[in-house]
Amino acid sequence: MDYSFGIYVIQAAQGLVYGMLLFLVASGLTLVLGMMGVLNVAHAVFYMLGAYFAYSLTLHLGSFWLSLLISPVIVGAVGVLIERFLIRKTYTGGHHQQLLLTFGLFFILGELVRVIWGTAPLEVPTPELFTGSIPLMGMIYPTYRLFILGFSFLVLLGMALVLSRTRIGIIIRAAVTDAGMVEALGVNTPVFFMGVFGGGAFLAALAGVIAAPFLSVYSGMGLDALLDCFVVIVVGGFGSLLGAFIASLMMGQLHSFGILWVPKLAIVFQFLLMAVVLILRPTGLFGEKE
């Protein structure tokens, strides 16, 4: 098959968009995992809720940008409530209880979404500002995707700045390496946990909102995101943000080129990647052995 160079670039750009979105979702999961030791299976639901709320808010308020503002806040609040009233109960119970709880929540929330919004896929219209496209490499490239790239990059930058410059960022970094540090640093742990959890939910929902016009909103998106996030964590290393970043980008490319080469079973490549990493380096590319 003879593909022109342009197609490769377009696909790579597509992969980059997908990768960045994936990182936005996975980063929340990684932070919660690294700092609280909780692998929140239900995390992908926050992504889904973000998208679905975006749909409803855009529909009723008429503005995508408002929903971009409001949806993550709502979902973040939901995250805080879930941590406070449900997850918190499992800290003394051991990992299986926590796992089953988050798994059950994933399922219940997924079902609730289906109950409230139905099972048919929903369309969130691309915001007016970015409905055009620009010529790129001899092809037409939608500007909205450039927006996603730019926006995710900004969020990423913001995260990096917060983590390296602010006090809360330093605490977060310390907590990722050593969860006990949080108390030693005089931070109110319960509040901290609620904040981290809610923050992760916020990020995931943010990704959900901006992904909505691009990927469309459907009831299986939680599960797809969950599996993708999970491969990212396995490949990147548990609790490593850098690892999650690299792995997300890799996943994005695999997803994009996988669809190009083997459209029906693109999932194979992601799978193979995970299997290879598991054999060669079970703790992930950037993970640390316990």
Partner 1 sequence: MRGLRLDTLGRGIAIILLLLLPQFLPLIYIHLATEILIYALFAVSFNLLFGYGGLLPFGHVALFGVGAYVAALIFKHFPGMYLPLTLLLTALSGVPIAAIIGFFCLRLKGAYFALISLAFQMFLYAIAMKWRSLAYGDDGMTVNRPDLYLPVLGNLSMRSIENVYYLTLVIVAIGILACYLFLKTPLGNSFVCMRERDIRASYLGYDVFLTRFTVFSASGILAALAGGLFVFFEEFVATSCIDLNMGISVVFMTVIGGPGHYLGPVLGAAFYIFFQDWISSLTKHWWVFMGIVFVGVVLYFEGGLVSLFTNGKVRLWASRLKGG
- Residues forming contacts to partner 1 in the complex (CB under 8 A) are 39, 41, 86, 89-90, 92-101, 103-105, 107-108, 111-112, 115, 223, 226-227, 230-231, 233-234, 238, 264-265, 267-268, 271, 274-275, 278-279, 282
Helix H or strand E segment including 235: helix 221-236
Give Rg (Cα) of the chain: 19
Element (H, E) at 222: helix 221-236
- What are the distances in angstroms from CA 208 to CA 71, 170, 214, 240? 9, 27, 10, 22
Nearer to partner 1, 82 or 207 (CB): 82
Q: Tell me which residue has tokens 């690299």.
A: 246
Question: In the complex with partner 1, which residue's Cβ is closer, 170 or 281?
Answer: 281
Least distance to partner 1, CB of residue 189, Å? 20
42 vs 203, beta carbon nearer partner 1: 42
CA distance 202 to 148: 17
Residue 264 C-beta: closest distance to partner 1, Å:
5
Q: Find the shortest distance in angstroms from Cβ 274 to partner 1.
A: 7
Nearest to partner 1 of 16, 234 (CB atom): 234
- Pairwise CA distance, residues 177 & 165, whole Å: 17
Q: Using CA of residue 279, residue 283, residue 285, residue 289, what is the dihedral sign?
A: negative
Structure tokens at 44: 């992908």
Which C-beta is closer to partner 1: that of 163 or that of 267? 267
**Cβ(45)–Cβ(222) under 8 Å?**
yes
Least Cβ distance, residue 255 to partner 1 (angstroms): 14
| Of residues 107 and 130, the one with the C-beta less far from partner 1 | 107
Smaller CB separation from partner 1, 84 or 130? 84
* CA–CA separation, 54 and 65 (whole Å): 9
CB of 218 to partner 1, least distance (A): 14
E strands in 150-268:
none
| Closest distance of CB 227 from partner 1, Å | 6
The string of DSSP codes covering 47-116 is: HHHHHHHHHHHHHHHS-HHHHHHHHHHHHHHHHHHHHHHTGGGGTTT-HHHHHHHHHHHHHHHHHHHHHH
Q: How far is the CB of 157 from partner 1 (least distance, A)?
A: 30
CA neighbor of 226 nearest in space, from 42, 9, 100: 42
- Residue number with CB closer to partner 1 (171 or 234): 234
Min separation Cβ 273 and partner 1, Å? 11
